[in-house]
């Protein structure tokens, strides 16, 4: 009896010691033994700047009015709001004192130099796939070419005991893959480069992959069927990037994907919602080869097995009947004719690649109507391509249409021209109207991504 008690005690002690070790250890870095080297070469700095574009660091680590990379952007988590940090090389308030190994631990392992764990709002489960070369170049860029900014980090609004960070070490054990991207020999070079960019620095899954109950992305690569299968975040539905014909990229060619990421638009649509930021700050700066590799990789992802969608095809009846629908007071038809048709067309086809179609686009076909509602309420952000702002932009209809009018017109558009999206209710519109009103007490702030 005494002996078994001792055994149990022993197991507990060893277990606790192991757990404490996991919770407090600093993960090893491949740069631990690397001594600080001299001034970085121009090539290395250019490479680092490019990696910063790929990883779109600026999107979260900068506020709209703030200095680049000085942090301070508020992000929502289920536990309370957190703020992005200053990643400029200021020694006091930024990362100026970080060694390459410290930097690597933060980027790829989610551990800051003082040992505290980062929240996975920082996409280190994706960044850990980044190569040593890319991390090294990124470090050189941040240390040499980013302007130091003195700006203290803001404390998170998560309260004790939930603000303890050590449990994240266990989250990391369960929900990260562990390791740099390993090329698949069965695939060609282009596929591997695309997979690296999408899974690693590009962290596409942060928005496009659904998350589990503890905010973990349900898959981190193509081995999981839910990888990039679409998710709602920040009041937008980031659609599936798999090959489903209606809710995914099934009807897009590799050239279409390339054009979308390069120019922000193609015949299927124009970037809107959070994707505007990804385009403005990141994808348009990628090389043609990288963009084509991304397209190549995405087109290799199969449609969801349970997808029973019949591929959308255009039905001209709506365009022919619009005047009759207006006369017959079909709900939404008059609002469509007076507010939407001048740009998107009575035929729903938009105007070339400049004004997107509503016929056959995923926001009009997905069961999730968030993106359609949000863009109608709040309009679209400025798309800046090659330094030139777009000539045409969706205006906000927040003050113009009631919840019911907006629900009706979206229901009309989501069932017109062969579209098969579900009806939109006034309640759904009212909810998002409140969540996206800056004056509201329950406004949506950036979630993890």
The residue ranges that bind other proteins (CB under 8 A) are: 323, 326-327, 329, 334, 337-339, 342-343, 351-352, 354-355, 391-393, 395
DSSP-derived secondary structure for 205-266: HHHHS-B-TTS-BS-SSTTSTTTT--EEETTEEE---S--TTTSSTT--HHHHHHHHHHSEE
Give 116 or 351: the residue with its C-beta nearer to other proteins. Answer: 351
Q: Output Rg (C-alpha) for the chain, integer angstroms.
A: 24
Q: Does the annotation place 60 within a ligand binding site?
A: yes
CA dist., res. 57 & res. 73, Å (int) = 12
The residue whose two tokens read 């390339």 is 258
Q: Does the annotation place 207 within a ligand binding site?
A: yes
Structure tokens at 401: 């249409």
Q: Does the annotation place 109 within a ligand binding site?
A: no
Nearest approach in angstroms of CB 168 to other proteins is 46
Nearest approach in angstroms of CB 269 to other proteins is 15
Nearest approach in angstroms of CB 344 to other proteins is 10
Structure tokens at 17: 């010691």
CA dist., res. 2 & res. 5, Å (int) = 5
Nearest approach in angstroms of CB 274 to other proteins is 22
Give 124 or 397: the residue with its C-beta nearer to other proteins. Answer: 397
Q: Does the annotation place 47 within a ligand binding site?
A: no
Residue 389, classified by CB atoms within 10 Å of its CB into exposed (0-12), middle (13-18) or buried (19+), is exposed
Nearest approach in angstroms of CB 208 to other proteins is 28
Q: Does the annotation place 204 within a ligand binding site?
A: yes
Give 95 or 406: the residue with its C-beta nearer to other proteins. Answer: 406
What is residue 111's three-state secondary structure? Answer: strand
CA dist., res. 286 & res. 263, Å (int) = 11
Nearest approach in angstroms of CB 192 to other proteins is 36
Give 164 or 327: the residue with its C-beta nearer to other proteins. Answer: 327
What is residue 446's three-state secondary structure? Answer: strand
Nearest approach in angstroms of CB 326 to other proteins is 5
Cis peptide before 161 (omega within 30 of 0): yes
- Beta carbons of 311 and 250 less than 8 angstroms apart: yes
Give 317 or 327: the residue with its C-beta nearer to other proteins. Answer: 327
Q: Does the annotation place 57 within a ligand binding site?
A: yes
Give 30 or 385: the residue with its C-beta nearer to other proteins. Answer: 385
- Beta carbons of 205 and 199 less than 8 angstroms apart: yes
CA dist., res. 259 & res. 295, Å (int) = 10
What is residue 433's three-state secondary structure? Answer: helix
Q: Does the annotation place 208 within a ligand binding site?
A: yes
Give 289 or 323: the residue with its C-beta nearer to other proteins. Answer: 323
- Compute how many other C-beta atoms are within 10 angstroms of the C-beta atom of residue 387: 6
Q: Binding site, residues?
A: 57, 60-61, 204, 207-208, 340, 343-344
Q: Binding site for heme c, residues?
A: 57, 60-61, 204, 207-208, 340, 343-344
């Amino acid at each position: 009896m005494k002996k078994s008690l001792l055994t149990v005690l022993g197991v507990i002690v060893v277990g606790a010691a192991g757990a404490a070790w996991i919770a407090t250890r600093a993960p090893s870095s491949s740069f631990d033994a690397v001594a600080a080297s001299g001034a970085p070469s121009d090539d290395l700095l250019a490479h680092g700047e490019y990696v910063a574009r790929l990883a779109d660091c600026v999107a979260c680590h900068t506020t709209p009015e703030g200095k680049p990379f000085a942090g301070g952007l508020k992000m929502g988590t289920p536990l309370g709001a957190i703020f992005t940090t200053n990643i400029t090389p200021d020694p006091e308030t930024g990362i100026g004192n970080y060694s390459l190994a410290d930097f690597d631990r933060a980027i790829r392992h989610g551990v800051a130099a003082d040992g505290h764990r980062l929240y996975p709002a920082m996409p280190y489960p994706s960044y850990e796939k980044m190569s040593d070369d890319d991390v090294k170049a990124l470090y050189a860029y941040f240390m040499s070419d980013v302007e130091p900014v003195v700006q203290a980090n803001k404390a998170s609004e998560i309260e004790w005991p939930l603000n303890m960070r050590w449990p994240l070490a266990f989250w990391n054990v369960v929900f990260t893959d562990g390791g740099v991207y390993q090329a698949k020999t069965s695939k060609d070079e282009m596929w591997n480069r695309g997979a690296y960019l999408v899974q690693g620095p590009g962290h596409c899954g942060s928005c496009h992959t659904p998350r589990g109950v503890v905010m973990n992305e349900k898959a981190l690569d193509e081995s999981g069927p839910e990888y990039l299968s679409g998710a709602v975040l920040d009041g937008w539905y980031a659609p599936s990037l798999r090959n489903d014909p209606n809710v995914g990229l099934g009807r897009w060619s590799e050239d279409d994907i390339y054009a979308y990421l390069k120019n922000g638009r193609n015949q299927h649509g124009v970037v809107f919602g959070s994707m505007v930021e990804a385009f403005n700050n990141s994808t348009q700066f990628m090389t043609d080869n990288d963009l084509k590799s991304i397209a190549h990789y995405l087109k290799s992802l199969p449609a969801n097995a349970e997808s029973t969608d019949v591929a959308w095809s255009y039905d001209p009846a709506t365009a022919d009947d619009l005047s009759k629908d207006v006369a017959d007071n079909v709900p939404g038809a008059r609002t469509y004719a007076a507010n939407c048709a001048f740009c998107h067309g009575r035929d729903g086809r938009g105007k070339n690649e400049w004004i997107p179609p509503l016929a056959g686009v995923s926001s009009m076909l997905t069961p999730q109507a968030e993106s359609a509602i949000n863009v109608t309420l709040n309009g679209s952000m400025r798309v800046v391509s090659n330094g030139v702002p777009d000539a045409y932009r969706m205006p906000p209809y927040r003050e113009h249409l009631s919840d019911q009018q907006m629900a009706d017109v979206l229901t009309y558009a989501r069932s017109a021209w062969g579209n098969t999206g579900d009806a939109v209710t006034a309640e759904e519109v009212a909810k998002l109207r409140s969540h996206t009103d800056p004056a509201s007490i329950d406004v949506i702030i950036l979630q993890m991504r």
